[in-house]
Structure 1
């Protein structure tokens, strides 16, 4: 249905995330992947969705002078927000273990934003999901980090992986938002194009 609507459009997903690739594929959209190196720095005064909105726009801006009439660029960003700060991707195993220990037994919020940019338009949409972790043992955390190496994931975990299966007791909001893309909102916006 959506593919018919976008038949003559060139959809470009500007993300290296395998999870976003999979989710877009599941929507039934034909797309290409084009990732640009963008330094993801932002003003530390930004909070929650302000960060992901800003970073989406920053990534989309890197395509500014090369968008053709039929192009639709999609960028996205996700953070884990806990104790009034952003948990981004861990740099190593000890940082990942520390993040998961901080999240253990508590609630945190996952913010994901996407930007849809065309030659004449740009919109940014965000979503938020509350995630509740049970109390995780150090053994569980160390096992997960060693086996799954979650160094490409905000907050050092993937909800769809082992740690999500055994550790997440409840979520409020979109599961797919936690995976990195609020596809229900993306679908709505693409249907308007």
Structure 2
């Protein structure tokens, strides 16, 4: 059965290492017959949440008028959500954090999703990605019925494109095929 797959690429660099892994996941998901889309978050306007709670008394509408409404619509429609970020100071990057925080407007309307996580780091250890993974997992833990389906670690990559020669590229493609 075909699924709707939404890939949120938090990479600040188009064709950066985590973004390239997103492309491979996307390719695999599409080749296996799924409807898949990637949003390159840096190309979207997503302001940080200002905790005004306008959304709580206005049916999930946010007081901030930017691209987050479109992203939330797509998150609600998706069966599968892939979240990708490079590791910055052992955590997710600002683009991904802003999106996670802004789901406050409709987080209760994003139930029963399958989640995949993609992370890249300059260091060769998975340990440096622990906090990043926990950020993703913490977000999903707030969503009713969320299920973690897979994690991809792109280790030892710094310069854009370093990931191309790494096993994580094949892993991302094959994980996309299995969606």
Q: TM-score normalised to the size of structure 1? A: 0.36
Give 1 or 2: higher helix fraction: 2
Q: TM-score normalised to the size of structure 2? A: 0.38
Greater Rg by CA: 1
Q: Relative contact order: is structure 1 or structure 2 higher (C-alpha 8 Å, sep ≥ 6)? A: 2
